[in-house]
Structure formats: structure tokens, C-alpha cells
Structure 1
Amino acid sequence: MLYSLIRQFFFALDAETAHGIGMKGIDLLQSAGLAGLLARPVEACPVEVMGLKFPNPVGLAAGLDKNGDHIDGLAKLGFGFIEIGTITPRPQDGNPKPRLFRIPEAQGIINRMGFNNAGVDKLLENVRAAEFPKRGGILGINIGKNATTPIDKAADDYLICLDKVYNDASYVTVNISSPNTKNLRELQKDEALDDLLAQLKARQQQLADRHGKYVPMALKIAPDLDDAQIAAIADALRRHRFDAVIATNTTLSRDGVDRFPNGDEAGGLSGAPVFGKSTEVQRKLAAALAGELPIIGVGGILSGDDAVEKIRAGASLVQFYSGFIYRGPELVSEVAASLAKILRKSV
């Protein structure tokens, strides 16, 4: 009830302005010891994925906290893990505003943010100042390339970010699937993907030797893939021994939203309209991988039942972002309780 009232206020504001105010509000409640006003107790449901022990399988997807400014406030809401970023080697402003649009009639969001972030060094300052990682919280760091870096030099940006975040991340996500950086999705194609994964995997092993610890890597893919592309990505992930895959990012499709205000805005569509598409890609990916590496299911989760469907389609963990905007912190406890029921039955 409290969040529904808060949401009315926020939805009367520009979406990006509301986001900034909301995140500061979460920080304020956390620092005042009042996070419980928004969050319900979250049911424990330990799972082990990528060699990491998660207190529950419910994660916050990248994008909500790009610079790691709000890690401790978000942690108080009960997430089993938090993913921050996407981060790039150098700070960049992203695309011109307005660039974030709600479609409440469909519980969707379109964004064309363009990896706006303060750069990897600033993110690391924030991570090192946060208590959540120090207490053993699982923190994923999502890495990308700068918009001004030519696509044939993209691997250089990913390697710079991997080098810098490796020792501070619980796992690292390689984002090659945002539709808002020109040509980025070209990296999902056969030769480009093979080359990028090979370089990242070689560097991961070097860093593991240097730091004396192995930090898993996940690849985040788009939902706008055909069956042949899904099979090729699965083969590449197996061949290069990646640790996980995140399925999926936002879609370029406008199915179900084109008749609504903001439905024709450019950018990636997330929220309820992407649920079916992302889950189908995840299901096909799970079949192609045959259990050889875990899947983190993301895309359109707005209820506990949605999350259950992701698990039944082959995911080991789930994440959401748009659902958090529409449902608020109560979604964390609802999803955790729903997943606890089915995961305990499967043990």
C-alpha cells in the first residue's frame, strides 16, 4: 500500500528524474534504519551457482544502479545478489534526454540511456566504500564499451574493465546486448563473439593466477535472436567455458505496446511485454546448453509466478529491474517465497 502511494507521486514526474529521487530515498531510509518501511522479510533459500553461495536466488538486474552509488540501500531490500553497471572504461553522458519512458498501460519501460555512467574508476570507489561486499554480499559488475570506441576495438574496452573490476566483483557480466550503443549487438555474431570470448577467457585465467581467486564471468544476450543464433551462442559459451549466461536484455520489438503513448519511442523495451520473448529464448538456450552452464533468467518478471516460469524454463537465478519500478520492494519477498517453494520441492 505504501509503495502504491509513492508510485503515484513518482509516475507524475519525468521517469529519469523520478529514478534519481527514488534512489536517494532508498539511501535515506537505509541510513536512518527505516528500510523495513518498504521491504518485507525475505525468505531464505540458499542456492549455489557459478561456485557462489547465494542467500536467495532473487537478484537486481544491471541498469538501476549504474555507478554503484546505492549498493547498501538496495541490499537492505532483501536481494540475494545485486548487479551494478553497465560501466565503461571512461565516463560518458549517454544519449540525449529524454531517454527513459514508461508505458504503464502495458507495465513496460523503453530506455535508450546509452551506457551513461561515471566510468569504471568511480564505480570502484563506490564499491570499496560500500558495506554489502565487505559482509560477503554477492555483487555482480556489468561491463561494456564506450560509445566512441570502434566496434573492432571493443574487446580492448571489455579487457580494461575486466582488469579493473576483477578483484572487487563476485562475478562479472559482459554486456554485448544493449540496443542503445551503436553496433554493440554485432558482437553477438559468430566470429566477433568467438574472438571476444576467447580474449576475455584468457584474461580471466591470467587474473585468477594474479589475484589467487577465480571470479566467474557471465554473458548477457538479447531476446531478439533466432534459433540458429541461439545455438551458435550456446556453442561459443561451452567452447570458451564461460561460467553463466544472462537471458535476456531488452527487446527492439514493439509487440503489445505500439498502440500506447511512448510505445513508438526508440530504445530497448523491458517489463511485462518482453516476458514471453525472453522466456522463450531462455528455454531454447537451456535446451541447447543441456545443463552445461547456468542461466540467469531476466525479462518481464512482475510476480512470483513469472519468476517460477523462468526457473521452469531452465534458469538457476532470476533478476528484475522494470518489475521493481512497477511493483516496488514487495516484489523481492514475493519472488523469493515463490521460488523457495518450488526449489525445495526439487531438492
Structure 2
Amino acid sequence: MSAERAKMEDVARLAGVSAKTVSRVLNQEAYVATDTRERVLAAMRELSYRPNPAAQGLRRSTSGSIAFVCEDISEPFAAQLALSVERSVGDRYVVIVASMLGDVKRERETLESLAAGHVDGIVLSPTPASKGYLARLLRSTPVVCLDRPARGHETDVVLSDNVGGMASAVRHLIAAGHDRIAYLGDAEEVFTQKERLEGYRSALREAGIELDLSLVYQHAPDSQRIGKHLSWFRQIRRPPTAYVSGNSLTTLAMIHAGFDAASDAFVAFDDFPLADVFGGGINVVAQDAEALGAEAVHTLMRRIDNDAAPVKATRIGTRLLIRNSSSLR
């Protein structure tokens, strides 16, 4: 093949990478693996490839962005993940943050728009709804799911140890003498809530405590509704003596409803701003947002660089932070 006829696609084919990866090597962009860069450069030499300066400038103008797409950026943990993604990317990419506000139609339109050339990859914390359209999107754009998987699709996913984290909270309450422990969480179709409820159940089983479904509350966080249910808990024949929550929005709804999160025997899943000072400190299961975001970015960069390894799920551990041990008695 003559030097005049060699094209970027020819280099990509010979090197076994995408044309986008060749463009990244030409533009000397970060996050191209050393062996990948060497293969591309070797293919350029073999083909005597010379880039078209005008086309190279055009390619540069359409790259350099990734997106973080989540269900609700107002949730403290989602905001922490967004910040972690931005920190992990540094100055290598511009990060576009989009919040779906629980709207499935908005999610689809946003993802399809981003994948149509506006970003090089997407870190996605998906809504629980089924996503038939995502299969088409995955063929053109690298996607790494964060905090929860995309239902019905095989992608890389980075998750917290939801089961183990909740189980550690319940075990701690059991060790403090409680066997009537209420679970208040988000809607049951939410992936993280399913796993955290399983952690609650498993800790009870380990201790030989029979599950009482009347102590399980699962609904979208709403302070008025949660307030009524907390009142109902106090009126039943054997009321709970301790409580766990399934996420930060549920915890905040409980507090708005008048629940004394610092004085009652309580462990919240998810840390949140001021939880360490509210009423002397709220006990929490803290997720490692920094590690989660960093791992998601690292995985996405590998996919952008055309890593063809099988998709994998990565679990990041949690920490039980007991800030107010006197409240657990």
C-alpha cells in the first residue's frame, strides 16, 4: 500500500485497534496503554502513514469528554461519585454530568445524544428500568456502570459490597442486644436495595433471629410517608428497638420526619455531609466513593483504548463507622 493511500482505518486494522485509538496516539492523548501505542506507531511505520493535518485537527475537536450519568445528583452519594469521577479524570477529559431525575425517557434521550459523538465514554449509574436501546449504544460507545448494573446488559460494573456492608451494621446492633431491628429502604426494584436487604436478612439468619416482614419498609424516600410508618412501628405490639436505613435519601427522609438518628439505636447505609456532627454523630456504613469512581474511570479508559477483555464486576469494600456507641444500647 502506498504512503498516499494509507488511511487511519488501515492503521487501525493492522494494529488491531479502533480508529479512535489511532487518533488518540496521533494527538498524544493520555490513557493510551504503552503496548497499544507501540502497536499503532509500528503500524504507521509499516504503512508509511502520514496524517492529514486538517482531518487530525477535526478529530481533536470532537474528543476529550466523558460523561457521568446518574439517576439523581441530589442524592449525597451520587454527588460524591460525580466528584470522584472528576478527580480521577483530572485534566485528561472534560466530564459532563447528567441527572435523570428518575425519568426513563430522559435517560434514553440523554444517553443516545451523548453516544452520538459528544463523548468518548460513559460512566453510568442507571435507573432500575429495562433498557433495550442500550445494546445498540454499547456497540459504539464504551460504558461502565457504577453503583448498580444495567438491567439485561453485560457491561463492566463497579459496585460496593452492599450485602456485606449492611450485614456488618445489623451484626453490630445484634451484638449490642437488639433482636427487633427495622429495615427502612428505597423501592424494592432498586438493585442496591435488593442487595442491602439481603445483607439484613443474612445477618438475622446468622444470629438465629426469625425475619419479621412487618419490620421491613421499602418505598421511594418520602418524609411524610416514612413519618407515618415510624409512628406505626412505635404502636405495634413488639416495636423495633433498633433501625437501619438503606441509603442516604431514606436516612434524610427519616430525619425530616422527626426520627432522632443520633440518639436512637440506628445505623445508616451511606455517609453524608454533617452526619459526623449531627447530634454527636450518626453511625453509618460508609461506601468508598473515591475508590468506586477511580475504578470506574480506570476501567472506562481501558475500554476507550480498545481493551477487549471480558467484562467484569468489581466490588469495593465498605466501612462501618460507629460514631455514637452509647445510642446503640
Return the TM-score normalized by structure 2: 0.26
Return the TM-score normalized by structure 1: 0.25
Larger Rg: 2
